[in-house]
Amino acid sequence: MLNRISMGRSFHCGSALLTLLLLISCGGAEAPADGGGDPGSEDPSRGRLVIIGGGLQAENTAVYQAILDGRSGDGPICVFPTASAEPQESMESAVSRIGAVGGAGSALGVFLTVDNPEDALLPETVETIESCSGFYFSGGQQRRIVSVFRPGEGDAPAYDALVRRFEAGAVVSGSSAGAAIMSDPMIGGGGSVDALHYGIRWEEDAEGVLLEKGLGFLENPLVDQHSLARGRWARLLTAVLGTEAYTFGTGIDENTALVVEGDSAWVVGDAGVAFFDTRDAVRAEEGVGASGIIVSLLGPGDRLDLSTGRVRFNGEKPRVDRTGGLPEGLGDSSELGLFGRWELLQFFAATALLPDTVFTLAREGFEFHFEKGPDFEARAWEGLGPSRTSRGLSAGPYILRYSEVGRAAEGGSFP
């Protein structure tokens, strides 16, 4: 056994009642049983993916439980701190948090970093990976993970072993950078505004949204993280529209996970997932833009069929009253931006609560036209969440078109 592979300390939850309350508040760990048939199919021959948008809090028991529920075999969840600039601290923290939910011995740190990439070639590392019931990649820089597991000269034996365990049923999970690697190609960097103006880039120093080689556990959709909290949704949309590899995009927010089994996916955690369906999108013949993009916001308990793009909201959440008026603390949507912190989420919340159906905003030299689809609905629990939107908000579908209009056209038009 490598001396860099270390067992972390584990801690039990102190209260069964506390655990129950956390499960309720975080949206539940298991696939929602809300009736109406199960969109998508679960594939028992491959493992579960738990894709976390970053910012995962220690008390978000539901997400950690979703990881533990996907274990295959009696081994531990193996934690890779490869993406982190402080890998020892990152590894110990993740091992402790998983152990707090799963119990003693449920997590094991595997110290693979950019400083010891040669360990990914060793039989001892392969043996350890083959003994794991699942895997967790911590946050940092996703390029570090790829450089160790899939270096330029070819895939490392550690990567091959990881793929074999996933195909045999082991769960693969990751937060932030550990979420980005699920796709191949993956999003490696860039912001929404640059992506809109410059499109896709394949080299680090160019402008636009950077696409790079990933680990490729998820064929479709393309994944992005910190999506709503950091206004990254337009870089995700640009990447999906600009490559033939994907027709769907999922922008996963912080402290939130998209759990995937086969073609079936559901949301667990605190915030939401922005889902972009571009199968019927039409690119502009001149300039930058597209139309016919279907956009939905999924909250905890909502489900997604990755084979058909069908979205089903959690039927236990009450429908949002759209008879008029915004609750105190929720801003006028005409005054909102789209690319700042949680601004798209604020836009969804504000427009979902209005009886109007068409909303147009000019931002950053582009005009965005959102129209509620004929089967539009919105659901949420009562009260406002931490980002000043209705808690667990589900909204959609919206039909989006956008085009370049020049920076002099900033503003909004609301019927």
Residue 20 has pLDDT above 80, yes or no: no
Q: The domain 5-312 belongs to what CATH superfamily?
A: Class I glutamine amidotransferase (GATase) domain (3.40.50.880)
User: Does position 404 have pLDDT exceeding 60, yes or no?
Assistant: yes
Residue 214 CB coordination number (10 Å): 24
**pTM, whole model, 2 decimals?**
0.87
Looking at residue 118, the DSSP 8-state letter turns out to be G
pLDDT digits (tens, 9 = 90+) for 280-327: 999 998 889 999 999 999 999 999 999 999 999 999 999 987 665 555
Provide the 8-state DSSP code for 282.
E
What are the sequence ranges of the domains in the chain?
5-312, 333-413
Higher pLDDT, 390 or 79: 79
DSSP-assigned letters across all residues of 203-242: STTSSSEEEE----S--SSEEEESTTTTT-HHHHHHHHHH
pLDDT digits (tens, 9 = 90+) for 234-248: 999 999 999 989 999
- CA nearest neighbour of 209 among 197, 226, 227: 197
CA distances to 297, 336, 353, 355, 369 from 331, rounded to whole Å, are: 18, 7, 11, 16, 19
Assign 112 a pLDDT band (cuts: 50, 70, 90): very high
Do the beta carbons of residue 46 and residue 84 sit within 8 Å?
A: no
Percentage above 70 pLDDT, the chain: 82
- Say if residue 2's pLDDT is above 90: no
> 28-70, pLDDT tens digit by residue?
445 554 433 444 555 556 899 999 999 999 999 999 999 999 9
Given a cut of 50, is residue 26 above it in pLDDT?
Answer: no
In this structure, the number of other CB atoms found within 10 A of the CB of residue 170 comes to 25
> Strand pairing of 171-175 and 134-137?
parallel
C-alpha distance from residue 397 to each of 108, 202, 266, 277, 389 (Å): 42, 32, 17, 10, 18
* φ/ψ of residue 322, rounded to 5: -110, 30
pLDDT at 45: 67
Q: What percent of the chain has pLDDT over 90?
A: 71
400, β-bridge pairs = 293, 370
